[in-house]
Amino acid sequence: MSNDIGVMVCGHGSRDDEAIAEFAAVADGIARRLPHYPVRGGFLEFARPIIRDGLDELRQLGVTRILAVPGMLFAAGHAKNDIPSVLNTYQARHAGLTIEYGRELGVDLKLLRVAAERIEAAEAGAAYVPRQETLLVVVGRGSSDPDANSNVAKVARMLWEGMGFGWVETCYSGVTFPLIEPALEQAVKLGYRRIVVFPYFLFTGVLVKRIYAAADAFARRHPGIEFLKAPYLNDHPLVLDVFAERVQEILAGRNNMNCHMCKYREQVLGFEDEVGQAQSSHHHHVEGIGTESGHHHRHRRGD
């Protein structure tokens, strides 16, 4: 085990106990793939341990170089602003400590394979319907960052073409449009025998449960259409592999996020006034607020 390098997995956080437990399982899975380094996890908001708690533990182990990765699919405000602000503030307060920040999971071929497996699992539990007669609905989290939102649309397009569905609709759980209910309203009008609703999320939580509830509500209102609910990504082995790759990219100096479409760096259409916006976090007031289960997840592997 390295004596001076540690890994920090920075999650968003949730008020949902299941989501916190799933994040802990993923952090443990990352630790098993990186046995030479101590690995810790922490949350930006709504749960404990918070990110500072994990950083404290690594420093107490004698770590002087921390490789931090966002526990998120896409780089939007949390990954670009909030988490770096927390990390930069912490590093400034501890002389001799270096924190290097990796990139988000992003659009990755391994993750597309996981997505396909989740969709296939939903299909396997139902009677055969040709994919040409099936409409796929891919639901992203939704963000104020157009680049992150466009990545959800790219994932949806690649799943559509790669798996041969008759049509695909892309929607979001919040912040941007279309939302899940309007998307399903559109989907039921298109005449497909089956609609597969797939939340492109890492973990469960309030938003995923709302997505599934919306699918159930539409199934009751439209009994002539079969609705299937595909599982989200969770701790699939390939997800853990991609996280480990993001850590290795930091060591290799290949950890740059996608900046050429970033609204904070370039004149993105409709977001021109956000170029050069100061990097800061607005989550200090909700650090650690929410579930209590996070107190018990310390990700000890790799000590």
Task: Residue 64: give the domain boundaries.
Answer: 5-106+236-296
- Whether 120 maps to a domain, the answer reads yes
Same domain, 187 and 125: yes
Res 118 pLDDT > 80: yes
Same domain, 57 and 84: yes
- Whether 301 maps to a domain, the answer reads no
- The count of structural domains within the chain is 2
Res 261 pLDDT > 50: yes
Q: How many CB atoms lie within 10 A of CB 274?
A: 15
Task: Give the CA distances from residue 8 to residues 3, 37, 119, 282, in Å, rounded to whole numbers and listed in that order.
Answer: 15, 10, 31, 20
- Whether 253 maps to a domain, the answer reads yes
Tens of pLDDT, residues 187-210: 999 999 999 999 999 999 999 999
- Whether 139 maps to a domain, the answer reads yes
Closest C-alpha to 202, from 80, 24, 59 = 24
Same domain, 204 and 248: no
- Whether 303 maps to a domain, the answer reads no
Tens of pLDDT, residues 210-245: 999 999 999 999 999 999 999 999 999 999 999 999
Tell me, what CATH number does 124's domain have?
Answer: 3.40.50.1400
Same domain, 126 and 21: no
